[in-house]
Amino acid sequence: MSTTIPNRAPDTSPAEILKAGIEAAQGPVSLACSFSLEDVAIIDIASKAGLNLGVFAIDTGRLHEETYEVAEALLERYRLKIDWYFPRHEDVERVECEKGLFSFRESLENRHECCRIRKVEPLSRALKPLQGWVTGMRREQSVTRGDLKAIERDELNGGIIKINPLIDWSESRVDEYVREHNLPINRLFTQGFRSIGCAPCTRAVQPGEDARAGRWWWENPEHKECGLHRR
């Protein structure tokens, strides 16, 4: 089905971006939720705007306990239905038996293999019934995200609509929104974490480092994507 990507004025609000993207998708749209500050803000914005936005999450098998706590808090506050997706157990068993538990730190190829098994393949299943998906990505986050668009066509996932409603928000703006509305916050953010993924691949950042410096910290900045948002 062919749809037109709507134009966006520079001052378009996240709620307006979400509404325009959902209308352009002409079918079911869900937020890919990692329970980050951005994702929590989007859930609240969509709820307040009365938008029909689903939520799905990928449990890689290596998430922090604190991440699950946020999921439970959101369930209680918004009465959400979260659709959980998991890696195929046979793929996890194979790579761990053949290469060990920390092969992803040995090479970029191995790390991409781990992300493909634990994140990318489950994502492909999560997106199959959808006409659009929403992310919490922002241009400011890293060098790999500077050319994001608010609403774009995701050709790598069947041409469905991809919506990035917080594209222009700064980290401080996200933090301000979350605290102003007293939203659930991952406790790791109070311990120096600024971007949270799998436990073995995430650490707190040092003063002056960018928000994603704690993700795969042993790699170069231009490589710091897991494959969910290939461009």
Active site positions, annotated? 226
Query: DSSP character for 194?
Result: S
CA–CA separation, 205 vs 80, rounded Å? 31
Residue 166, phi then psi, degrees to nearest 5:
-100, 20
* Maximum separation of any 2 CA atoms in the chain, in Å: 52
CA–CA separation, 216 vs 180, rounded Å? 31
Answer for the pair 17, 151: CB distance below 8 angstroms, yes or no: yes
Residue 89's closest CA among 112, 122, 65, 57? 122
Answer for the pair 27, 160: CB distance below 8 angstroms, yes or no: no
CA–CA separation, 189 vs 169, rounded Å? 18
CA–CA separation, 122 vs 127, rounded Å? 9
Token representation of residue 5: 């990507």
Strands laid side by side in the 29-32 sheet: 82-85, 54-58, 29-32, 132-134, 160-163, 151-154
CA–CA separation, 15 vs 144, rounded Å? 25
